[in-house]
């Protein structure tokens, strides 16, 4: 929902940037209400184009489309800037989701059996962290909120856990506050301390530490399975923040040296339909790690680029 104040703020920013023709990107959850924003901007003499492509992160800036449409600015709603260089100006309009995690946290506090805690979340809930810090400190816990580069304090991305990892030596556990398993699971895979997930949607608190072992076992199984196959596709995304040609080249060389058939598969976003009829057995992902969530739909072995080194062991 774009309340009046937010719409006026956006208009002010656009006017300050002297934008007259704008491509707007919104995450799925805001698409419905974005028409209201479009109406408001059009009434105020801003020519708008609304991108209907799915948008999961600031890695996915639709700069090329904006240029093709003759736009002078890209308005990217819902994610924060993580430093992508662009040829046209971008306004990042972060979108906070109102939340009050304290009653839920208080209810589950007994399960949070560690004293030094690092708080982590996604951009939509960063604004809640200070309240959580105060609450936990009042209960005798020591609380840390990490930072890294352009990320906000405590913010993680599914492809960047550096703000949490910077604190790993100082804390006993991590507390992720938000919704969806993708981020806390990814974090648990990349740190050795337990990750607790306070799920604001399902209203529970789960310790993911056991998942770490399970994920590692699954990874080894995927690698073992991949060894049996010959046809490997390297997934390369053309989204500006996901394009990783260097990584793809490394994977290609490595697989060739293992005697595999290698195909560089290029897509904005790879979906199972795009592979129909192709004899590819294993996908090696150099793009967004989210693809792993869809492995069942792909019906193929999916490896991360880093797993390639395990193939020869």
What does the binding site for ligand SF4 look like in residue numbers (CB under 6 A)?
56-57, 59, 157-159, 241-242, 288-290
Q: Which is nearer to ligand SF4, 153 or 180 (CB)?
A: 180
Q: Which is nearer to ligand SF4, 147 or 207 (CB)?
A: 147
Query: Least distance (Å) from ligand SF4 to the CB of residue 75?
Result: 18
DSSP-based three-state secondary structure for 67: helix
Dihedral angle sign, alpha carbons of residues 200, 201, 206, 210: negative
> Which candidate, 84, 155, 146, 75, places its Cα nearest to that of 123?
155
Query: Least distance (Å) from ligand SF4 to the CB of residue 289?
Result: 6
Distance of CA 3 to the CA centre of its chain: 26
Q: Count other C-beta atoms under 10 Å from residue 151's C-beta.
A: 22
Q: Which is nearer to ligand SF4, 135 or 182 (CB)?
A: 182
Query: Least distance (Å) from ligand SF4 to the CB of residue 59?
Result: 3
Residue 172 in contact with residue 115, Cβ under 8 Å? Answer: yes
Query: Least distance (Å) from ligand SF4 to the CB of residue 239?
Result: 7
Q: Which is nearer to ligand SF4, 19 or 241 (CB)?
A: 241
Cα dist from 225 to 58, 176, 275, 282, 305, whole Å:
34, 32, 20, 9, 16
Query: Least distance (Å) from ligand SF4 to the CB of residue 6?
Result: 23
Look up residue 144 and give its DSSP letter.
Answer: E
Q: Which is nearer to ligand SF4, 239 or 300 (CB)?
A: 239
Q: How big is the chain, counted in residues?
A: 313
């Amino acid at each position: 929902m774009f309340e009046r104040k937010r719409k006026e703020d956006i208009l002010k920013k656009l006017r300050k940037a002297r934008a007259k023709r704008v491509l707007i990107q919104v995450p799925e959850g805001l698409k419905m209400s974005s028409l209201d924003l479009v109406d408001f901007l059009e009434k105020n003499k801003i020519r708008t184009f609304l991108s209907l492509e799915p948008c999961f992160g600031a890695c996915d800036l639709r700069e090329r489309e904006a240029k093709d449409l003759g736009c002078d600015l890209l308005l990217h709603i819902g994610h924060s800037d993580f430093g992508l260089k662009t040829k046209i100006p971008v306004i990042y309009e972060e979108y906070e989701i109102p939340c009050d995690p304290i009653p839920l946290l208080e209810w589950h506090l007994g399960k949070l059996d560690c004293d030094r805690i690092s708080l982590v979340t996604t951009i939509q809930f960063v604004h809640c962290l200070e309240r959580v810090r105060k609450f936990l400190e009042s209960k005798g816990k020591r609380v840390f909120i990490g930072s890294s580069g352009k990320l906000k304090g405590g913010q993680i991305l599914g492809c960047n856990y550096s703000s949490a990892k910077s604190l790993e030596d100082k804390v006993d556990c991590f507390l992720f506050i938000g919704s969806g398993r993708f981020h806390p699971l990814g974090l648990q895979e990349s740190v050795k301390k337990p990750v607790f997930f306070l799920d604001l949607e399902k209203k529970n608190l789960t310790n993911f530490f056991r998942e770490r072992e399970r994920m590692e076992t699954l990874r080894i199984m995927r690698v073992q399975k991949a060894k049996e196959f010959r046809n490997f596709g390297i997934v390369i995304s053309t989204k500006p923040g996901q394009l990783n040609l260097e990584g793809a080249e490394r994977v290609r060389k490595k697989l060739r040296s293992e005697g595999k058939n290698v195909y560089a598969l290029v897509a904005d976003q790879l979906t199972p339909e795009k592979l129909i009829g192709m004899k590819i057995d294993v996908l090696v992902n150099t793009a967004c790690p989210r693809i792993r969530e869809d492995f069942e739909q792909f019906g193929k072995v999916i490896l991360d680029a880093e797993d390639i080194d395990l193939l020869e062991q």
